[in-house]
Amino acid sequence: MGSHHARVIAQSPRAELAYLIDTREDVGREVADRYGATWVPELPDLHDVDAVVVAAATEAHYELAMKVLGQDRPLLIEKPVADSLLRTQEILDEAEARDLPLMCGLLERYNPAVMTARALLEQPMHVVATRHSPYAPRIKTGVAWDLLVHDIDLAINIIGSSPTAVDARLGFFHPDSAPTAEDVAETVLEFQNGAIAQVSASRVGQRKIRQLSIYELDRLVEVDLLRRDVVIYRHVSENSVDDGRGYRQQTVIEIPEITSSQEPLTTQFGRFLDVIDGVVDAAAERATIAPSHAVIDQVISKKSAR
């Protein structure tokens, strides 16, 4: 992700990539040279830097984030913010105390299909999200922080509030996974207004699935996050027929135009710059981070019951 962030920053007409930080000189210097930045092996003094993007291993997030915020610099940090809810909250509290812009890389918010669908919604009452992938040995954490957090965040933003109840079941299947790293997470969220979200994450699938279904009383909005398309279904009627074959169902299908073709990472970085420039309220943006992290903390707490 670090190299992708470097590319997006370097290509932005609103920013200049100053430093590329990586402890591995061969990797860091190659990326820095590619995008016209200076390679350094560790976080430098930030007196000549306006903002920082952290895309490091999760266990390194806390120390890096606190160093960046300690120098009063805005921060865009990859998800999760830290490796525990307590440390995540400490980072959020530090940013709030210093009134600094802080964003988390919950990238699916900026998927063009998701942005198109959200603009069309009126009263969502049931959200079903599926995020399944083949096994990837390089990912050491469980699916809750790696996959589930994205759709938990989408469900919270679609319904418009934090859940009042969280239920989850975790599966531990793959022999190459760490004993405490879940391979499957099935989650149900209940909301104050009666809405329900069912969110499924798996890394023992045999194909990549990124599907989001949003139900309202009179329509279904389906989002394919991989193809980045949206289809709306409206059931019109269901009538008996005389040919002995059952029922005839009429459904109106709409395919709205996707409102943007921009890469999600580019859209996210543009929003980060807007927060820095004061176009987007920094406190409101910070407030969107904690809810999904709190839900994931409740989900992984189920491990203690194994």
Helix (H, G, I), strand (E, B) or coil at 292: helix
Helices (H), 247-281: 264-277
Angle at 268 between CA 265 and CA 274, to 5 degrees: 145
Is pLDDT at 213 greater than 90 in this prediction? Answer: yes
54-100 pLDDT tens trace: 999 888 999 999 999 999 999 999 999 998 899 999 999 999 999 99
Is pLDDT at 305 greater than 60 in this prediction? Answer: no
All domains of the chain in start order, with CATH: 2-105+276-291 (3.40.50.720), 108-261 (3.30.360.10)
**Two tokens at 83?**
């490796």
pLDDT band of 175, cuts 50, 70, 90 = very high
**Two tokens at 9?**
């920053």
Question: Above pLDDT 70, what percent of the chain?
Answer: 96
Which of these, 186, 195, 252, 245, lies nearest to 219 by C-alpha position?
252
Concatenating the DSSP letter of every residue in 33-67 gives HHTT-EEESS----TT-S-EEE-S-GGGHHHHHHH
Give pTM, 2 decimals.
Answer: 0.92
Question: Above pLDDT 90, what percent of the chain?
Answer: 87
157 φ, ψ (degrees, to nearest 5): -70, -35
pLDDT reported for residue 239:
67
**Among 167-171, 184-188, 237-241, whose mean pLDDT is lowest?**
237-241
